[in-house]
Amino acid sequence: MSTKKIVTYAEAINEALREEMHSDPDVILLGEDIGSYGGVFKVTKGLLDEFGRDRVIDTPISEAGFIGAGIGAAMTGMKPVVEIMWVDFTLVAMDQILNQAAKMSYMSGGQTKVPLVIRTQGGGGRGNAAQHSQSLETIFAHVPGIKVVLPSTPYDAKGLLKSSIREGCPVIFIEHKMLYNQKAEIPSEEYFIPLGKADIKRAGKDITIVSISRMVHFCLDAAKELQKEGIEAEVIDLRTLVPLDLELVKKSVQKTHRLLIVHEATKSYGWGAEVAARIQEEAFDELDAPVYRVGAEDVPIPYNLNLEKETLPQVRDIVDAVRNSLYLSI
């Protein structure tokens, strides 16, 4: 008989790390302040005491250096999970991530594997300004050889991270800073969620809304607002951008005949454009309206919280976009 417990998003990730470290002695952690401090968002709390300094390794402030160390460890048989405090800081280590980790298996003819997970957090909502609030997932999704995961719930975070550690290739696992305290039920028993399997978070018949990470919750709130007007929106959480579960999106569009894509990243050149293009190519005859997108304004994220809110997508923006798709706007 399955039992359940309530945990936060941060606790769910901590559980995934703990279980995988118990399961496989080759799983090690690297990052800044992940040891006695437990990480800037306390995701690795308690793991140093449980597994010791040989497996929970505090590193100097050098993202390129310790991601490189993680790649080397992965190539020699370890399964490193590297924590980068803010996704914004991955930009100083792009050569290691996109030129080395992502390409090593291809360039060696498959003789070298890089079973590396890079955990980090992104997005806005705290007034952390332009260099600590970005949503950079599209950059990673654009380069072949790396998988991209963005969980929206504690349940998904745990199951997807456990699968990522066992994936056997580079995975960038982007958490959202505004979700760490979110609570939800998860099974007490071990479970996994395969990469590339999207999830219908809310069923509907009038429009398909596709999103990821924190924006999934905004879409669900928008769906509640729209229900008051008799509009039933189906909300799909992609969970991973690479691999992309386009088949579930197509199946939903075949039912609703309308598609809205919502992401926190800037609208221009975002991953929403990729999904829109592929639906247009593969399911054009199913559409009764243009594919709409909601994304952040094309500016750096402001420090001022009010301005930040104006920059990032809000529930009202999603509601308005649905009305446009249904030709209900005046």
Task: Name the residues annotated as catalytic.
Answer: 63, 132
Q: How many angstroms separate the CA atoms of 307 and 29, rounded?
A: 37
Q: How many angstroms separate the CA atoms of 151 and 159, rounded?
A: 9
CA distance to 147, 250, 259, per residue, from 244 (Å): 10, 12, 16
**Residues in CB range of 71: below 8 A, 6 or more apart:** 96, 100, 101, 104, 114, 116
Cβ neighbours of 261 (radius 10 Å):
28
Q: How many angstroms separate the CA atoms of 121 and 32, rounded?
A: 14
**Residues in CB range of 231: below 8 A, 6 or more apart:** 206, 207, 322, 326
CA distance to 100, 191, 313, per residue, from 211 (Å): 30, 23, 12
**Residues in CB range of 293: below 8 A, 6 or more apart:** 260, 261, 262, 263, 267, 270, 272, 273, 276, 321
Helix (H, G, I), strand (E, B) or coil at 212: coil
* CA proximity to 165, closest of 297, 5, 23: 23
